[in-house]
């Protein structure tokens, strides 16, 4: 068992033995977790991309292999988070290492379910995006011979096509994940152990991760993720308006700096700064997407939502929530209970990585761009 | 170790077994899949990382998504008994009659059509030619019979099945029937329409008059053809001004300012019969005219709007249909008193495939939502249309028929003399590609159903299982006219809208032995194409030795005098500039692709559907630019056409001038063509794009200004937006 850093003796509080609650440890069988996640990610995205060849908007069908590699890679953290969630659920329900065959099958099925959920959500998001693009194209192709009822009928037909694709894709994803998880289990000799070693001995007092370390890691990750996303959109914004480009450069630097401050100082000032560098851009973003900013090339016009900005906003919101939790925890000095268990920290970190990855996919950055295709959308 | 756990050795054994099994299964599946699918993927140009996704997508599309069901046509019981119609040249309108027209043709404003709003860009006198010979062709609704033979209705397993008639009666399986006539929209009411024998130096003006609103025989128009009965005639591939070219980029922005000329209107299409740039080397030899009405080109062509336009070259008597003069290519000319002339031993062969309604196949495609034919109640079955031509747009697969016809007759026969003939082949099908060979058979044709074939294998209806190649073709011309030198070929491919002219010597076989009277030779199709996507087998790709479908039966007759020859040199090509590769960085690039829209497939170019009121924009070229598809008059340029993949082939056509293919799939083909495309050494107006293929063509933009189009000539693709507008600027 990997030991975590122990807090100073004076800071340790008497442990409350909670035999039915597992606090978590760092014994994640990462090879198994990553293997399962990667297998399901690449297998599921194969169907997503293949179905796009059938029902997808034409802008998104030009480089299916590249799309498959890109989307599988960007979604990998999400699959990892899903597998880790299954690990936590499993451990809480069956902490005993002597889990029988039924439990293994159950674990496998839950893994299939979790992976399928991610795959279906990805497929649904892709279908929705295709539908939006196709609606934009619909009016062009009819040359005026299809209006009113005809146009409505074609919109309906297009929607039905996407729903059909979603239904078939969901079934394919489910069936594939059953095969994939089963195959991985066989490859592991019939054991789907998501933990590297056995459970700690009965009655062993668990050593929880110091609440500050887990929380710090998550907040820093959120800030760094937001900074990365803001840096990623600099080229696109700078090409439209240099001032906007400079703004995002500054924002990325400030958020990265705040993350550094939280790591190195960890005091009230740095946490307050973390909250500020999240709250202000979040407010500006809300303003730009609702009323519209009063400056810039499109002054006064509400900007459309995008994947990158939604992801950044999510990360900033997460930062605010975590800072608030930190403040509340600090004020009330809740004893003996880590704010974030190791498992929660792990899942949170992976989830934030997933959000960052998805945001990068919507940032318009070359190879990472999830919306890339022929590069031309009819105006 | 707890009592429940198996012994350690057993655990190890089980784990080892499972691991080995997992690895082995994965390996076995991988090897098996590679062995099973690689050849098929390679044949379809899909053996690549991207291709795998396209192949899976296509399989899912066929299995689940797109409802494109073809009927099984009734079996023609006595093929090769109807004689092949050999058209006579259409007679021009007498000059005195033309002068008596209330609105005679002329060069002035308002003298180009009944709409009185356009003029001819160039009148013949401007190029030193006399006034045009005038023809009048009317678009008429008429009945047409594809065969006089009795037919046997069969199902998709080749078994006799029930049939129907217009009154709703049902006929028991096994009942032989007579096909009812099909309704056509024909030039002068015939299919194919008239043949105009033209000559360079003698302009032709054709007044096309739309009388499709008249239905004197009260024929059922069914559910295809332009819903508003409009037409737009294109002379493929005449060097023609836009107002006479018959293209929708012009029609939607000028002239009719709509998709076509409506009933009650007429248009004068002026064909100068003048080579591009006045260059003798640009002369062509075989045009055809067909409909080009936007969004319904395929249905209008399939419904009958096809005409023929061989063009001769009297300069130095080079190719004027007289085998005693000039190149002495086969032909005996007879000038008629009415101003036309016929040429014996010159036979146009317009190949077409058709599908006949079986009364039980659902009429359904995306056009049903557009309310084109509300009275039909589609999607619906139509037993009252049993035995008549069936058509749906089928934008995903493209439309192919299971009955093959030539010059409007299914499985005809032609008695030929023992001498050389010049055949002008035209593929007038919507999507089907043919590969043609000359074969003999001792057993003769047998129905595919009697041989045990089912489903798609019934297409073509007949096979000659013992067919053997017995003669060769000597190709003398392609789309762009006479070749620089003849090509001897065992077989040749014929893509939609392509023309190939060949000389066949019926005096002797391949082995040199002479033919005798009564011998039979079959024009045979050896390319299996179950849908409009691409071939399943052909000589150059997974040949199927059992697929030999006879289309036309030649019966050797008496010996006839033959003064013809096939010279070693025909017509020189216009030279390519030595530094044509300098144009490569600034070439225009167009990529054809498919996408899903409106519940069915749409076909786009550079991601855009056809916009009739604008020109397309190129993809980014190596110079980093995306130029508009506009060319200055008198210029030359390189255009690249790419097949965007997915396992479809595309016959891509550019209007107004011929081109030279200089590169194919990234390789220079100016001196040595690639396998499967020997005609790249000639001039063409239609580039054959294999799966994932690309071509770079060199062409000119001379003599006229205005809007033109380029498009896929799989008409199902064209009608579903695989077309773009381009223009020539002053």
Supply the pLDDT for residue A210: 44
Positive or negative, the CA dihedral B381, B386, B392, B396 is: positive
Positive or negative, the CA dihedral B428, B434, B440, B441 is: negative
Give A371's pLDDT tier (boundaries 50, 70, 90): low
pLDDT of A25 > 70? The answer is: no
Q: Are strands B686-689 and B706-712 parallel, antiparallel or unpaired?
A: unpaired
Supply the pLDDT for residue A378: 38
Supply the pLDDT for residue A217: 87
CA distance B253 to chain A (A): 13
Supply the pLDDT for residue B524: 98
pLDDT of B146 > 60? The answer is: yes
Supply the pLDDT for residue A240: 85
Supply the pLDDT for residue A3: 46
* Secondary element (H or E) of residue B136: strand B133-144
Does A149 lie at the interface with B, CB-CB under 8 angstroms? yes
Spatial CA neighbour of B429 closest among B456, B406, B454: B406
Contact B437, B490 (CB under 8 A): yes
Q: How far is CA A234 from CA A222, A242, A246, in A?
A: 19, 9, 8
The whole-angstrom separation of Cα B593 and Cα B583 is 25
Contact B77, B149 (CB under 8 A): yes
Residues 6+ apart with CB under 8 A from A215: A322, A325, A326, A329, A339, A340, A345
pLDDT of B410 > 60? The answer is: yes
B124 or B70, higher pLDDT? B124
Supply the pLDDT for residue A24: 52
Per CB-CB distance under 8 Å, the chain A contacts of B48 are 65
Supply the pLDDT for residue A138: 74
When the pLDDT of each residue in chain B is averaged and rounded to a whole number, the result is: 93
User: Which residue of A156, A189, A373 is in closest CB contact with B19?
Assistant: A189
Per CB-CB distance under 8 Å, the chain A contacts of B26 are 183
Supply the pLDDT for residue B48: 85
B404 or B18, higher pLDDT? B404
Contact A53, B51 (CB under 8 A): no
pLDDT of B626 > 60? The answer is: yes
- Highest mean pLDDT of the ranges A50-59, B394-403, B639-648, B656-665: B656-665
**B60/A54 Cβ within 8 A:** yes
Q: Percentage of chain B surpassing pLDDT 90?
A: 80
Q: Which residue of A has its CA nearest to B616?
A: A378
Name the least confident of A48-57, B75-84, B573-582.
A48-57
B365 or B725, higher pLDDT? B725
Q: How far is CA A89 from CA A94, A98, A218, in A?
A: 8, 16, 21
Across B666-674, average pLDDT: 92
pLDDT of B271 > 50? The answer is: yes
CB atoms within 10 A of CB B28: 10
Give B1's pLDDT tier (boundaries 50, 70, 90): very low
Does B2 lie at the interface with A, CB-CB under 8 angstroms? yes
Separation of first and last alpha carbons in chain B = 93
Give A253's pLDDT tier (boundaries 50, 70, 90): very high
Give A267's pLDDT tier (boundaries 50, 70, 90): confident
CA distance B80 to chain A (A): 42
Q: Reduced to 3 DSSP states, what percent helix, strand and coil does chain A have, rounded to the nearest 5?
A: 70, 0, 30
Spatial CA neighbour of B475 closest among B485, B462, B465: B485
pLDDT digits (tens, 9 = 90+) for B57-96: 888 887 887 767 889 999 999 999 999 999 999 999 999 9
**A158/B598 Cβ within 8 A:** yes
Residues 6+ apart with CB under 8 A from A248: A230, A231, A233, A234, A237
Give A336's pLDDT tier (boundaries 50, 70, 90): low
Supply the pLDDT for residue B728: 98
State whether CATH 2.60.40.2550 applies to domain B580-729: no
- Tally the residues of chain B: 730
Distance, CA of B677 to chain centre: 17
Tell me the three state secondary structure of residue A127: helix
Per CB-CB distance under 8 Å, the chain A contacts of B19 are 186-189
Does B295 lie at the interface with A, CB-CB under 8 angstroms? yes
Q: Percentage of chain B surpassing pLDDT 70?
A: 97
Across B389-410, average pLDDT: 91
Distance, CA of B695 to chain centre: 19
Does A213 lie at the interface with B, CB-CB under 8 angstroms? no
Q: Are strands B683-684 and B686-689 parallel, antiparallel or unpaired?
A: unpaired
A72 or B372, higher pLDDT? A72
Across B290-308, average pLDDT: 96
Does A176 lie at the interface with B, CB-CB under 8 angstroms? no
**B600/A145 Cβ within 8 A:** no
For residue B277, the 8-state DSSP code is: G
Q: Which residue of A has its CA nearest to B50?
A: A65
pLDDT digits (tens, 9 = 90+) for B187-232: 999 999 999 999 999 999 999 999 999 999 999 999 999 999 999 9
pLDDT of B670 > 70? The answer is: yes
B262 or B395, higher pLDDT? B262
The whole-angstrom separation of Cα B233 and Cα B224 is 18
Q: Which residue of B has its CA nearest to A127?
A: B596
Spatial CA neighbour of B496 closest among B323, B716, B270: B716
The whole-angstrom separation of Cα B633 and Cα B701 is 6
Per CB-CB distance under 8 Å, the chain A contacts of B294 are 143
Buried b (16+ CB within 10 A) or exposed e, A93-130: ebeeeebeeeebeebbebbbebbbbbbbebbbebbebb
pLDDT digits (tens, 9 = 90+) for A172-215: 999 999 999 999 988 888 877 887 765 554 554 444 444 456 88
Q: Is the peptide bond before B237 cis (omega within 30 degrees of 0)?
A: yes
- Tally the residues of chain A: 379
- Highest mean pLDDT of the ranges A254-263, B65-74, B485-494, B594-603: B485-494
Where in chain B is CATH 2.60.40.420?
Answer: 90-145+181-318, 405-559, 580-729
User: Which residue of A50, A57, A376 is in closest CB contact with B57?
Assistant: A50
Positive or negative, the CA dihedral A340, A342, A344, A346 is: positive
B311 or A28, higher pLDDT? B311
For residue B646, the 8-state DSSP code is: S
Tell me the three state secondary structure of residue A269: helix
**B21/A54 Cβ within 8 A:** no
User: Which residue of A64, A158, A186 is in closest CB contact with B18?
Assistant: A186
Does B607 lie at the interface with A, CB-CB under 8 angstroms? yes
Give the Cα-Cα-Cα angle A118, A122, A125 (nearest 5 degrees): 140
The whole-angstrom separation of Cα B508 and Cα B418 is 8
Conformation bin of residue B64: beta by default, left when phi > 0, alpha when psi is -120 to 50: alpha
Spatial CA neighbour of A330 closest among A275, A239, A266, A280: A266
**B596/A161 Cβ within 8 A:** yes
Q: Which of B65, B66, B598 to mutate to test binding with chain A, by most A CBs within 10 Å of its CB?
A: B598
The whole-angstrom separation of Cα B363 and Cα B346 is 40
CATH number of B405-559: 2.60.40.420
CATH number of B90-145+181-318: 2.60.40.420
Contact B502, B476 (CB under 8 A): yes
Supply the pLDDT for residue B691: 85
B447 or B594, higher pLDDT? B447
B450 or B671, higher pLDDT? B450
**A186/B19 Cβ within 8 A:** yes
Spatial CA neighbour of A341 closest among A211, A241, A228, A190: A211
Supply the pLDDT for residue B279: 96
Per CB-CB distance under 8 Å, the chain A contacts of B252 are 143
Name the least confident of A49-53, A240-244, A337-341, B564-568.
A337-341
Q: Tell me, what's the ipTM?
A: 0.77
Does B642 lie at the interface with A, CB-CB under 8 angstroms? no
Restricting to A residues 321-350, those with a Cβ less than 8 Å away from any Cβ of B are none
**A150/B369 Cβ within 8 A:** yes
Restricting to B residues 559-578, those with a Cβ less than 8 Å away from any Cβ of A are none
Restricting to A residues 51-90, those with a Cβ less than 8 Å away from any Cβ of B are 51-59, 61-65, 68
Q: Are strands B462-463 and B446-447 parallel, antiparallel or unpaired?
A: antiparallel
């Amino acid at each position: 068992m990997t030991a975590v850093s122990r807090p100073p003796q004076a800071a340790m509080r008497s442990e409350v033995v909670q035999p039915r609650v597992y606090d978590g440890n760092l014994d994640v069988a990462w090879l198994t977790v990553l293997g399962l996640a990667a297998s399901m990610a690449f297998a599921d995205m194969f169907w997503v991309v293949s179905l796009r060849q059938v029902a997808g908007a034409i802008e998104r069908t030009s480089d299916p292999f590249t799309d498959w590699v890109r989307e599988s890679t960007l979604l990998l953290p999400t699959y990892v988070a899903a597998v880790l969630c299954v690990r936590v659920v499993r451990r809480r329900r069956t902490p005993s290492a002597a889990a029988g065959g039924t439990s293994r099958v159950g674990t496998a099925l839950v893994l299939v379910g979790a992976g399928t959920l991610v795959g279906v959500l990805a497929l649904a998001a892709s279908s929705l995006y295709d539908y939006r693009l196709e609606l934009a194209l619909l009016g062009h192709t009819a040359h005026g011979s299809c209006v009113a009822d005809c146009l409505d009928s074609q919109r309906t037909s297009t929607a039905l096509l996407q729903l059909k694709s979603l239904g078939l894709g969901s079934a394919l994803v489910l069936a594939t994940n059953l095969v994939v998880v089963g195959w991985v289990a066989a490859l592991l000799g019939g054991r789907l152990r998501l933990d590297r070693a056995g459970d700690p001995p009965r009655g062993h007092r668990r050593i929880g991760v110091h609440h500050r370390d887990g929380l710090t890691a998550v907040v820093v990750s959120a800030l760094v993720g937001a900074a990365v996303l803001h840096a990623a959109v600099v080229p696109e914004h700078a090409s439209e308006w240099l001032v906007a480009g400079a703004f995002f450069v500054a924002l990325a630097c400030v958020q990265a700096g705040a993350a550094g401050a939280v790591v190195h100082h960890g005091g009230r000032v740095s946490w307050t700064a973390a909250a500020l560098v999240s709250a202000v851009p979040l407010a500006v973003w809300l303003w730009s997407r609702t009323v519209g900013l009063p400056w810039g090339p499109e002054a006064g016009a509400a900007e459309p939502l995008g994947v990158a900005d939604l992801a950044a906003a999510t990360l900033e919101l997460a930062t605010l929530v975590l800072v608030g939790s930190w403040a509340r925890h600090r004020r009330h000095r809740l004893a003996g209970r880590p704010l974030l268990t190791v498992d929660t920290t792990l899942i949170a970190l992976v989830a934030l990585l997933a959000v960052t990855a998805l945001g990068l996919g919507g940032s318009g950055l070359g190879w990472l761009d999830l919306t890339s295709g022929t590069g031309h959308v009819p105006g | 170790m707890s009592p429940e756990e198996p012994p350690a050795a057993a655990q190890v054994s089980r784990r080892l077994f499972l691991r080995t099994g997992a690895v082995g299964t994965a390996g076995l599946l991988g090897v098996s899949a590679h062995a099973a699918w690689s050849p098929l993927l390679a044949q379809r140009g899909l053996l690549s990382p991207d291709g795998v996704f396209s192949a899976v997508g296509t399989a899912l599309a066929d299995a689940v998504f797109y409802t494109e069901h073809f009927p099984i046509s009734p079996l023609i019981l006595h093929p090769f008994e109807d004689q092949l119609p050999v058209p006579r040249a259409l007679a021009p309108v007498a000059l005195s009659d033309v002068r008596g027209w209330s609105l005679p043709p002329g060069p002035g404003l308002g003298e180009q059509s009944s709409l009185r709003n356009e003029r001819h860009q160039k009148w013949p006198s401007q190029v030193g030619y006399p006034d045009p010979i005038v023809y009048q062709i009317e678009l008429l609704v008429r009945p047409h019979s594809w065969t006089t033979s009795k037919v046997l209705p069969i199902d998709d397993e080749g078994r006799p099945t029930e049939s129907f008639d217009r009154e709703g009666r049902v006929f028991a399986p096994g009942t032989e029937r007579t096909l009812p006539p099909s309704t056509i929209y024909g030039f002068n009411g015939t299919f194919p329409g008239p043949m105009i024998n033209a000559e360079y130096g003698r302009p032709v003006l054709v007044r096309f008059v739309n009388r499709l609103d008249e239905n004197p025989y009260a024929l059922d128009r069914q559910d295809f053809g332009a819903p508003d009965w409009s037409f737009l005639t294109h002379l493929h591939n005449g060097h023609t001004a836009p107002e006479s070219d018959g293209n929708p980029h012009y029609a939607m922005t000028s002239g009719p300012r709509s998709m076509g000329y409506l009933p009650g209107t007429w248009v004068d299409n002026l064909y100068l019969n003048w080579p591009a740039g006045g260059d003798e080397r640009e002369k062509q030899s075989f045009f055809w005219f067909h409909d080009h009405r936007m969004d319904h080109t395929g249905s209008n062509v399939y419904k009958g709007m096809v005409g023929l336009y061989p063009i001769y070259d009297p300069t130095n008597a080079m190719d004027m249909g007289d085998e005693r003069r000039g190149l002495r290519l086969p032909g005996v000319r007879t000038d008629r008193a009415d101003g036309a002339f016929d040429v014996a031993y010159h036979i146009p062969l317009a190949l077409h495939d058709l599908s006949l309604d079986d009364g039980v196949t659902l009429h359904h495609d995306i056009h049903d939502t557009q309310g084109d034919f509300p009275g039909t109640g589609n999607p619906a079955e139509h037993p009252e249309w049993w035995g008549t031509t069936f058509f749906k747009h089928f934008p995903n697969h493209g439309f192919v028929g299971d009955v093959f016809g030539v010059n409007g007759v299914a499985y005809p026969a032609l008695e030929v003399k023992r001498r050389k003939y010049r055949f002008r082949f035209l593929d007038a099908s919507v999507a089907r590609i043919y590969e043609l060979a000359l074969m003999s058979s001792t057993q003769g044709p047998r129905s595919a159903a009697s041989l045990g074939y089912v489903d798609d294998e019934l297409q073509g209806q007949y096979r000659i299982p013992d067919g053997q190649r017995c003669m060769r073709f000597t190709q003398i011309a392609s789309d762009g006219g006479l070749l620089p030198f003849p090509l001897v070929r065992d077989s040749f491919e014929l893509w939609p809208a392509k023309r190939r002219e060949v000389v066949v010597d019926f005096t002797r076989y391949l082995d040199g032995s002479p033919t005798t009277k009564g011998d039979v030779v079959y024009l045979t199709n050896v390319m299996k194409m179950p849908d409009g996507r691409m071939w399943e087998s052909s000589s150059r790709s997974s040949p199927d030795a059992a697929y030999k479908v006879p289309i036309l039966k030649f019966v050797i007759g008496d010996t006839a005098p033959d003064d013809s020859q096939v010279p070693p040199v025909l017509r020189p090509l216009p030279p390519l500039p030595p530094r044509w590769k300098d144009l490569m960085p600034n070439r225009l690039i167009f990529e054809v692709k498919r996408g899903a829209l409106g519940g069915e497939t749409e076909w786009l170019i550079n991601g855009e559907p056809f916009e009739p009121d604008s020109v397309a924009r190129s993809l980014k070229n190596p110079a980093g630019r995306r130029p508009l598809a506009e060319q200055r008059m008198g210029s030359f340029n390189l255009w690249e056409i790419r097949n965007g993949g997915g396992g479809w082939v595309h016959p891509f056509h550019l209007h107004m001038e011929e081109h030279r293919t200089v590169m194919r799939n990234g390789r220079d083909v100016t001196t040595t063509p690639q396998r499967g495309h020997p005609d790249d050494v000639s001039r063409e107006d239609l580039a054959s794009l294999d799966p994932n293929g690309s071509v770079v063509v060199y062409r000119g933009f001379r003599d006229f200004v205005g809007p033109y189009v380029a498009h896929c000539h799989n008409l199902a693709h064209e009608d579903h937006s695989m077309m773009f507008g381009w223009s020539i600027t002053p």
